[in-house]
Amino acid sequence: MDFLKRFGRQNEAEEKADYREIHQDGKEMGEPKDEKNDAEIKDESTDSETGRDKWGSKMDFILSCLGYAIGLGNVWRFPYMCFTNGGGAFLMVYLLMLSLAALPVMVLEMLFGQFSNLGCVSVWRMSPLFKGIGFGMALISMYFCMYYNIIIAYTIYYMVASFKNPLPWSHCGNEWNSENCYTDASRTSNISATDASVTDASATDVTPFSTEDTMPDNSSKVWAAEEFWENHVLGMTTGLHDLGGIRWELLGCFWLAWIVVYFCIIKGVKTSGKVVYFTAVFPFVVLVILLIRGVTLEGAGQGIVYFIKPEFEKLMDARVWTAAANQVFISFGAGWGGVLTLASYNDYRNNSIRDCMILVSLGALTSVMAGFVVFSVLGFMAHDTGLAIEDVVRADSQFVTLETVITAIVDELSEIAPWVQKKRFFIILGTCASMAVIGLPLCFEGGIYVEQLLDWYSAGFSPIILGLIEIVVICHVYGYRKFRQDLRHMLGFYPNNFWFVCWLVIAPLLIVVVLIYTFVDYTPASLGDYSYPPWAQAIGWFLTFTSILCIICYAIYNVIYLQTGTIKERIIAASKPAPEWGPSHNAHRIEAGYRPLPGRGAKSIPGDTDTKV
- Indicate the annotated binding residues for Na(+): 67, 69, 74, 331, 396-397
Q: Where do the H-state alpha helices sit in 208-247?
A: 224-227
Diameter over CA atoms, the chain = 112
**Phi/psi of residue 515, nearest 5 degrees:** -65, -45
Annotate 253-308 with DSSP letters as a single string.
HHHHHHHHHHHHHTTTHHHHHHHHHHHTTHHHHHHHHHHHHHHTSTTHHHHHHHHH
CA nearest to 98, candidates 521, 498, 495, 510: 510
Burial (CB < 10 A; 0-12, 13-18, 19+), residue 607, is: exposed
Binding site residues, as ranges? Answer: 67, 69, 74, 331, 396-397
Three-state SS at 448: helix
Helix, strand counts (H, E) of the chain: 28, 4
Per-residue b/e over 549-573, b at no fewer than 16 CB within 10 Å? ebbeebbeebbeeebeeeeeebeeb
Question: Helix/strand/coil (H, E, C) string of 191-210?
Answer: HHHHHHHHHHHHHHCCCCCC
* Three-state secondary-structure class, residue 45: coil
Rounded-to-integer distance, Cα 585 and Cα 529, Å:
56
Amino acid letter, residue 50: T
482: number of Cβ within 10 Å:
18
Q: How does DSSP classify residue 603?
A: P
Q: Any long-range contacts for 569-573 (C-beta under 8 Å, 24+ apart)?
A: 571/129
What whole-number distance in Å separates Cα of residue 29 and Cα of residue 254? 57
In sequence order, the β-bridge partners of residue 182 are 223
